[in-house]
């Protein structure tokens, strides 16, 4: 149920000098939850997935339709991940607003509240910038996570502010921190950083900054330059 | 003023009217111009303004006393807490998240720790006493946070005595926090795996004292405000936001409940065993500032109920998870400046056991690894849904932590509440959201 990706080498993050720790050859593997096919085997999640597939393929199926029209579901959902009791759908970026609208409006889904929009940066991936949406269904007391991956070169995806007005500031923050551009947002400007700020601070290649501190004669480097276990 | 004036001819420019004054009295010249006519006034309120709860800036466009447009500007207290977390160990993370919403530190810590525990897969292993203490601390914190709201809002709307009384009782709650954790605020008390140390007997005594006098004090606040004509006029029918408005803007917490929807995560998606406590979710139908006041007052009463139940079920036992690879040394001595060292622990690692010293060193410098994955943990903070989205890449530090801060989301309601209303009601409406800028800007 897991995919393995390399988590890097060594233990101390040493580079550029000889390995004196003896851990330089250590290859760390990170296990990440694998993508599942439908049905995922959890009743609650299958209900949501079936409901979404049905809604996306255009409403109720008639009796004589043996093969359900899931084409449209497979077109917009790239991966399904169930991990630690939480359902994550990786959605094609261009479809995010439509998927959100379906999740909000369909009677069997009713995700009325968009709890959170934020981002995560995975520099090792081609489409490194992930926009993450947490939706809440108050009717069914369920939660779902949607994830959209875009590349840093073309970080565009549709804004969901038309569907969830509350996403306004949260998309602005995601733009501010990650540089993800939400097309169709009414006022996509920086929100936490000053307007003339350069760069997007939450990206992994953006340094933390800081100054060395002298304490009892010894100089302690800023947190991002300290030697640390990886 | 019409016609040509030899003393002060005027002409229209792109910048507005320009007078060329060659003689005469300045007052005569300008008296002909109606200052109100066709004039929009843009008022900048904040970021340094006593009634903006910190460093919130409002740009208000006024026509007379009526607000035609309100723009909220935030970011003045952005301290990069989320970024900083990525450079510390998982346990050190609590020290940072506790400083986000500084009026609700226990909630920040609990959301973060519940998330880390879920990632570690040890949710079931958290000792019952630790969970009960968390509930106890959260509800005490909810009372202290609502008291600050009551105090500051009272002050802003002209009820200055309320400010003094509110802070007086809040100080008592903070004294309890100090007894338990060594610190009044930003305690970093809740840790992944449990809590930093046990509740001392003196604190239990003091909490009982609070339970004893607090209902009377809450009654006093109500006597002071509820029938007060000025308070009623400043709050009733002001800054109305109905359920539809709340949901589309993502507003949760007391503001949503003041619109009549009994959505409280402690009831609807329980955590920390809240489903086993007996309490009600106060709601009001009016959706105005007064309704929010009543909801908060009643929530304090409900919190007292929960605290009493939590005290009764506080059975002796460990307060941190048994797994020594995760649990930091608990039972630290409380000094004048917060939590200090555990003398027994220091004696053991320095004098008796080499293995313990190695283990201690590894745990404190390297920390523990958290299996890769991501979780989202929402808790019901004093201001609404406080969600911690925590991502791990399998390392010893958080890969990404994002807080869904109710202050941040709720502040989006200010234009909806303020536009079309009076300037004075902007204060009442904004205050009724109870924004804390430390949480909003993080």
The 3-state secondary structure of chain B, one letter per residue: CCCCCCCCCEEEECCEEEECCCCCCHHHHHHCCCCCCCCCEEEEECCCCHHHCCCCEEEEEEECCEEEEEEEECCCCCCCHHHHHCCCCCCCHHHHHCCCCCCCHHHHHHHHHHHHHHHHCCHHHCCHHHHHHHHHHHHHHHHHHHHHHHHHHHHHCCCHHHHHHHHHHHHHHHHHHHHHHCCCCCCCCEECCEECCCCCHHHHHHHHHHHHHHHHHHHHHHHHHCCCHHHHHHHCCCCCCCHHHHHHHCCCCHHHHCCCCCCCHHHHCCCCCHHHCCCCCCCCCCCCHHHHHHHHHHHHHHHHHHHHHHHHCCCCCCCECCCCCCCCCCCCCEECCEECCCHHHHHHHHHHCHHHHHHHHHHHHHCCCCCCEEEEEEEEECCEEEEEEEEECCCCCCCEEEEECHHHHHHHHHHHHHCCCEHHHHHHHHHHCCCCHHHHHC
pLDDT of A66 reads 44
Note whether B250 contacts A164, CB cutoff 8 Å.
yes
Nearest CA in chain A to B79: A192
A176 and A82 both lie in a single domain: yes
Bond from prior residue into A39 cis (ω within 30 degrees of 0) = yes
Residues of chain A with pLDDT > 70, as a percent, come to 82
Q: Is residue A219 part of a domain?
A: no
pLDDT of A178 reads 92
Domain that holds residue A29: 1-34
How many angstroms separate the CA atoms of B249 and A115, rounded?
A: 10
What confidence tens digit (pLDDT) does each residue in B175-231 have? 999 888 888 888 888 999 888 888 888 899 999 999 999 999 999 999 988 888 888
Average pLDDT over residues A30-50: 79
Task: Tell me, yes or no, if A120 comes closer than 8 A to chain B by beta carbon.
Answer: yes
Give the count of alpha carbons within 13 A of A15, CB side only: 6
How many angstroms separate the CA atoms of A96 and A75, rounded?
A: 12
Look up residue A204 and give its DSSP letter: T
For residue A33, list chain B residues with Cβ-Cβ distance below 8 A.
Answer: 372-373
A102 and A21 both lie in a single domain: no
Q: Is residue A225 part of a domain?
A: no
Residues 274-333 of B with CB under 8 A from A: none
A61 and A172 both lie in a single domain: yes
Architecture of domain B73-326+368-441: Orthogonal Bundle (1.10)
Residues of chain B with pLDDT > 90, as a percent, come to 38
Average pLDDT over residues B255-259: 92
Exposed (0-12), middle (13-18) or buried (19+): which is B290, by Cβ within 10 Å? buried
Q: Are B144 and B207 in contact (CB under 8 A)?
A: no
Note whether A191 contacts B75, CB cutoff 8 Å.
yes
pLDDT at A57 over 60: yes
Q: Is residue A222 part of a domain?
A: no
Q: What 3-state DSSP class applies to A28?
A: strand
Q: Is residue A199 part of a domain?
A: yes
pLDDT at B144 over 90: yes
End-to-end CA distance of chain A: 25
Average pLDDT over residues B91-96: 90
Look up residue A178 and give its DSSP letter: H
pLDDT of B409 reads 92
Q: CB-CB: which of A32, A119, A190 is closest to B372?
A: A32
Q: Is residue A155 part of a domain?
A: yes
Q: What 3-state DSSP class applies to A140?
A: coil
- How far A12 CA sits from the closest chain B CA (Å)? 10
What confidence tens digit (pLDDT) does each residue in B282-336 have? 999 988 999 999 999 999 999 999 999 999 998 888 888 888 888 877 566 666 6
pLDDT of B372 reads 87
- Quickly state the pLDDT bin for B1 (edges 50, 70, 90): very low
- Quickly state the pLDDT bin for A148 (edges 50, 70, 90): very high
A75 and A61 both lie in a single domain: yes
What confidence tens digit (pLDDT) does each residue in B3-13 have? 555 556 677 78
Average pLDDT over residues A126-134: 91
Note whether A118 contacts B389, CB cutoff 8 Å.
yes
Query: For A89-98, B68-77, B203-212, B332-341, which range has the lowest pLDDT when averaged over its residues?
Result: B332-341
Q: Is residue A84 part of a domain?
A: yes
Q: Is residue A221 part of a domain?
A: no
Give the number of other Cβ atoms within 10 Å of residue B116's Cβ. Answer: 27
CA distances from B427 to A148, B72, B343 (A): 39, 13, 51
Q: Which residue has the higher pLDDT, A16 or B120?
A: B120
A1 and A45 both lie in a single domain: no
| Domain residue spans of chain B | 1-38, 73-326+368-441
Task: Tell me, yes or no, if A201 comes closer than 8 A to chain B by beta carbon.
Answer: yes
pLDDT of B106 reads 93
Note whether A165 contacts B248, CB cutoff 8 Å.
yes
Task: Tell me, yes or no, if A190 comes closer than 8 A to chain B by beta carbon.
Answer: yes
A122 and A175 both lie in a single domain: yes
pLDDT of B33 reads 61
The tally of domains found in chain A comes to 2
A13 and A81 both lie in a single domain: no
* B384 DSSP β-pair partners: B381
CA distances from B7 to B20, B23, B25, B35, B287 (A): 8, 5, 9, 20, 58
Nearest CA in chain B to A143: B376
Note whether A166 contacts B75, CB cutoff 8 Å.
no
Q: Which residue has the higher pLDDT, A126 or B9?
A: A126
A141 and A86 both lie in a single domain: yes
Give the count of alpha carbons within 13 A of B337, CB side only: 2
Average pLDDT over residues B267-283: 91
Average pLDDT over residues B135-164: 91
pLDDT of A67 reads 44
What region, left, alpha or beta, does residue B201 occupy, with left being phi > 0 and alpha being psi -120 to 50 degrees? alpha
pLDDT of B334 reads 64
A27 and A41 both lie in a single domain: no
Q: What does the mean pLDDT of chain A come to?
A: 82
How many angstroms separate the CA atoms of B16 and B310, rounded?
A: 67
Task: Tell me, yes or no, if B375 comes closer than 8 A to chain A by beta carbon.
Answer: yes
Nearest one of B311, B110, B317, B319 to B194, comparing CA atoms: B319
Q: Are B362 and B368 in contact (CB under 8 A)?
A: no
Radius of gyration of chain A (CA): 22
How many angstroms separate the CA atoms of B115 and B417, rounded?
A: 34
What confidence tens digit (pLDDT) does each residue in B335-377 have? 666 666 777 778 888 888 888 888 888 888 888 888 888 999 9
Give the count of alpha carbons within 13 A of B431, CB side only: 26
CA distances from B351 to B236, B325, B339, B356 (A): 67, 21, 22, 10
Note whether B404 contacts A115, CB cutoff 8 Å.
yes
How many angstroms separate the CA atoms of B21 and B28, rounded?
A: 11
Candidates A79, A84, A90, partner chain B, best to mutate (most B CBs within 10 A):
A84
Average pLDDT over residues A19-44: 74
Average pLDDT over residues B126-142: 93
Query: For A50-64, A126-140, B272-286, B421-435, which range has the lowest pLDDT when averaged over its residues?
Result: A50-64
A21 and A131 both lie in a single domain: no
Sign of CA dihedral B160, B166, B172, B174: negative
How many angstroms separate the CA atoms of A220 and A211, rounded?
A: 9
pLDDT of A65 reads 45
A150 and A169 both lie in a single domain: yes
pLDDT of A136 reads 92
Radius of gyration of chain B (CA): 26
For residue B268, list chain A residues with Cβ-Cβ distance below 8 A.
Answer: 138, 141
pLDDT of B406 reads 93
Q: CA B219, B220, B221, B225: dihedral to nearest 10 degrees?
A: 100
pLDDT of A18 reads 65
Query: For A40-49, A197-206, B80-89, B302-311, which range has the lowest pLDDT when averaged over its residues?
Result: A40-49
Task: Tell me, yes or no, if B395 comes closer than 8 A to chain A by beta carbon.
Answer: yes
pLDDT at B35 over 90: no
pLDDT of B255 reads 92
Task: Tell me, yes or no, if B161 comes closer than 8 A to chain A by beta carbon.
Answer: no
pLDDT of B359 reads 83
Note whether B400 contacts A120, CB cutoff 8 Å.
yes
- Quickly state the pLDDT bin for A70 (edges 50, 70, 90): very low
* B27 DSSP β-pair partners: none
- How far B373 CA sits from the closest chain A CA (Å)? 6
A184 and A107 both lie in a single domain: yes
- How far B195 CA sits from the closest chain A CA (Å)? 23
Phi–psi pair at B37, nearest 5 degrees: -55, 125
Q: What does the mean pLDDT of chain B come to?
A: 86
pLDDT of B291 reads 92
Residues 31-70 of A with CB under 8 A from B: 31-33
- Quickly state the pLDDT bin for B258 (edges 50, 70, 90): very high
Q: What is the CATH number of the domain that holds A144?
A: 3.30.460.80
Q: Is residue A223 part of a domain?
A: no
Contacts of residue B275, defined as CB under 8 A and 6 or more positions apart, other chains included, come to B267
pLDDT at B38 over 70: no
Q: CB-CB: which of B263, B378, B399 is closest to A138?
A: B263
Look up residue A36 and give its DSSP letter: B
CA distances from B365 to A196, A229, B424 (A): 38, 8, 53
* A81 DSSP β-pair partners: A88
């Amino acid at each position: 149920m897991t995919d393995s990706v390399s988590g890097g080498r060594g233990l101390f993050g040493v580079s550029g000098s000889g390995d004196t720790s003896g851990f330089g050859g250590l290859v760390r593997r990170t296990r990440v939850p694998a993508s599942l096919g439908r049905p995922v085997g959890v009743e609650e999640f299958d209900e949501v997935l079936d409901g979404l597939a049905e809604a996306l393929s255009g409403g109720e199926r008639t009796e004589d339709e043996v093969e359900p029209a899931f084409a449209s579901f497979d077109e917009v959902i790239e991966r399904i991940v169930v991990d630690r009791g939480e359902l994550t759908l990786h959605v094609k970026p261009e479809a995010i607003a439509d998927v959100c609208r379906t999740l909000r409006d369909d009677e069997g889904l009713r995700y009325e509240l968009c709890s959170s929009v934020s981002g995560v940066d995975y520099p090792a991936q081609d489409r490194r910038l992930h926009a993450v949406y947490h939706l809440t269904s108050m009717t069914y007391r369920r939660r779902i996570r949607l994830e959209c991956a875009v590349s840093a070169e073309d970080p565009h995806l549709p804004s969901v502010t038309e569907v969830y007005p509350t996403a306004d500031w949260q998309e602005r923050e995601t733009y501010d921190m990650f540089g993800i551009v939400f097309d169709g947002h009414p006022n996509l400007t920086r929100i936490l950083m000053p307007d003339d700020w350069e760069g997007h601070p939450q990206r992994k290649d953006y340094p933390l900054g800081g100054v060395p501190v002298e304490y009892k004669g010894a100089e302690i480097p800023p947190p991002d330059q300290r030697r640390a276990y990886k | 003023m019409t016609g040509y004036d030899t003393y002060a001819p005027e002409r229209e420019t792109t910048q507005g009217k320009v007078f060329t004054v060659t003689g005469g009295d300045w007052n005569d010249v300008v008296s002909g111009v109606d200052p109100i006519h066709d004039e929009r006034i843009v008022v900048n309120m904040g970021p340094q303004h006593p009634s903006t709860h910190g460093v919130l800036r409002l740009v208000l466009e006024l026509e007379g006393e009526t607000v035609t447009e309100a723009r909220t500007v935030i970011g003045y207290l952005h301290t990069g807490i989320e970024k900083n977390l990525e450079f510390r160990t998982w346990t050190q993370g609590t020290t940072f998240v506790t400083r986000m919403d500084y009026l609700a530190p226990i909630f920040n810590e609990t959301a973060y720790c519940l998330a880390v525990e879920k990632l570690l897969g040890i949710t079931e292993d958290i000792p019952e006493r630790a969970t009960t203490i968390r509930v106890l601390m959260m509800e005490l914190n909810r009372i202290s946070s609502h008291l600050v709201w009551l105090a500051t809002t009272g002050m802003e709307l002209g009820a200055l005595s309320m400010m003094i009384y509110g802070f007086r009782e809040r100080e008592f709650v903070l004294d309890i926090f100090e007894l338990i954790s060594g610190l009044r605020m930003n305690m970093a008390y809740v840790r992944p795996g449990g809590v930093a140390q046990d509740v001392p007997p003196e604190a239990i005594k003091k909490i009982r004292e609070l339970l004893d006098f607090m209902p009377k004090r809450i009654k006093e606040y109500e006597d002071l405000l509820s029938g007060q004509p000025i308070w009623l006029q400043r709050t009733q029918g002001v800054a109305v936001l109905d359920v539809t408005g709340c949901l589309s803007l993502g507003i949760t917490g007391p503001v949503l409940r003041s619109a009549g929807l009994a959505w409280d995560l402690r009831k609807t998606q329980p955590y920390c065993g809240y489903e086993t406590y007996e309490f009600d979710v106060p709601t009001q139908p009016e959706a105005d500032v007064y309704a929010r006041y009543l909801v908060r007052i009643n929530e304090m009463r409900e919190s007292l109920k929960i605290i009493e139940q939590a005290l009764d079920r506080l059975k002796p036992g460990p307060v941190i998870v048994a797994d020594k690879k995760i649990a930091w040394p608990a039972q630290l001595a409380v000094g004048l400046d917060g939590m200090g060292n555990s003398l027994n622990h220091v004696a053991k690692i320095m004098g008796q056991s080499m293995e313990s010293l190695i283990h201690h060193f590894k745990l404190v410098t390297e920390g523990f690894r958290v299996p890769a994955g991501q979780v989202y943990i929402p808790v019901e903070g004093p201001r609404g849904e406080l969600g911690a989205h925590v991502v791990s890449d399998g390392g010893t530090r958080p890969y990404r932590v994002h807080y869904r801060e109710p202050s941040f989301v709720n502040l989006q309601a200010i234009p909806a509440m303020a536009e079309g209303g009076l300037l004075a009601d902007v204060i009442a409406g904004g205050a009724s959201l109870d924004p804390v800028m430390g949480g909003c800007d993080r």
